[in-house]
Amino acid sequence: MVRYHLSRRLALAIVRDAILGRRRSFHTDSRLLVRGIASLRVIGAIPDLASARGRRSLHGGWLVTVNHYSRPGFRAWWIPISIASLFSCEMHWVITSTLTFPDFLRSHTVTPLSDWFLPRLACTYGFGSMPPMPPRPQDVAARARAVREVLRFARSAPPPVIGLAPEGGDSADNRLTLPSPGAGRFIAHLAGAGLTILPIGAFEADDAFCIRFGPPYNLLANLPADPDARDAHVARLVFRAIADLLPARLVPPSLGL
How far does Cα 5 stand from its chain's mean position? 21
pLDDT of residue 55 exceeding 80, the answer is: no
Write the pLDDT tens digit of every residue in 198-220: 999 999 999 999 999 999 999 98
Spatial CB neighbours of 51, under 8 Å, sequence gap ≥ 6: none
Across residues 85-103, what is the average pLDDT?
Answer: 93
What whole-number distance in Å separates Cα of residue 50 and Cα of residue 170? 30
What whole-number distance in Å separates Cα of residue 97 and Cα of residue 120? 9
- Asked if 201 contacts 252 with a C-beta cutoff of 8 angstroms, the reply is no
Percent of the chain beyond pLDDT 70? 95
Write the pLDDT tens digit of every residue in 140-174: 788 889 999 999 999 887 889 999 999 988 888 99
**What's this model's pTM, rounded to 2 decimal places?**
0.93
**Residue ranges of domains in the chain:** 8-247
From the options 3.10.260, 3.30.530, 3.30.1370, 3.40.1130, give the CATH code of 8-247: 3.40.1130
* β 62-66/196-205 pair status: parallel
What whole-number distance in Å separates Cα of residue 253 and Cα of residue 14? 40
How far does Cα 59 stand from its chain's mean position? 21
Amino acid, single-letter form, for residue 2:
V
| Omega prior to 112 cis, within 30 of 0 | no
Q: pLDDT value at position 228?
A: 95
Question: Sorting pLDDT into bands at 50, 70 and 90, what band is 59?
Answer: low
What whole-number distance in Å separates Cα of residue 199 and Cα of residue 110? 31
